[in-house]
Amino acid sequence: MPINKRAIISGALGATASSIGKLALSPKSPVPSTFHSYCHIILNRYYQHENDIGWICPYVSLGTRVVCFLCMIGVNLLMVSSFLDGMNESGSVVGTALSTAANFSFSALYGILFFEEHVPISWFFGATLIALGMYLLSSVTLTTDDDDDDDDDDKTKTD
């Protein structure tokens, strides 16, 4: 039973890109504020007059946002490539469904782990159903119909 990995990977990459984008653009993002704090710590430790060069810390914070934004774009490029491969591997409907389900699942997982989001118990029931659906969809194999003559006869028969 083949597993359509590329579509699932594209969903995970999409959720990863979204989380990186949240780190880059959210006003409450911990990454820029952490680098801003470290900048002040380093300046206090190594420079007697931090006020002379303290202006650099906001630029360090902005630089981390730019780096996160560029990483988001790079991961999105990988996601699109993987998504197209996943659609070739499993068909457009199954590939899209698998990618969307994986994106939903990984987005929630990242929200819980990295952004301290609270998820109700009913969500876990739904996520279990989505995971079951992902398993069923990923186990689908595409077949080609080589004998078109038999299909025409079957279409005319009624039960």
Whole-number pLDDT of residue 1: 42
Mean pLDDT by 10 residues, the chain (159 residues): 77 95 87 86 76 79 93 96 88 83 89 86 87 76 62 48
Q: Would the pTM of this model clear 0.75, i.e. be above it? A: no
pLDDT at 157: 46
Q: For position 151, what pLDDT does the model report?
A: 52
Q: Tell me the domain boundaries of the chain.
A: 5-144
pLDDT at residue 158 in the model: 46
pLDDT of residue 149: 52
Nearest-CA neighbor of 102 among 25, 8, 14? 8
Question: CA angle, corner 17, sides to 65 and 24, nearest 5?
Answer: 15
Instruction: Return the pLDDT at 146.
Output: 65
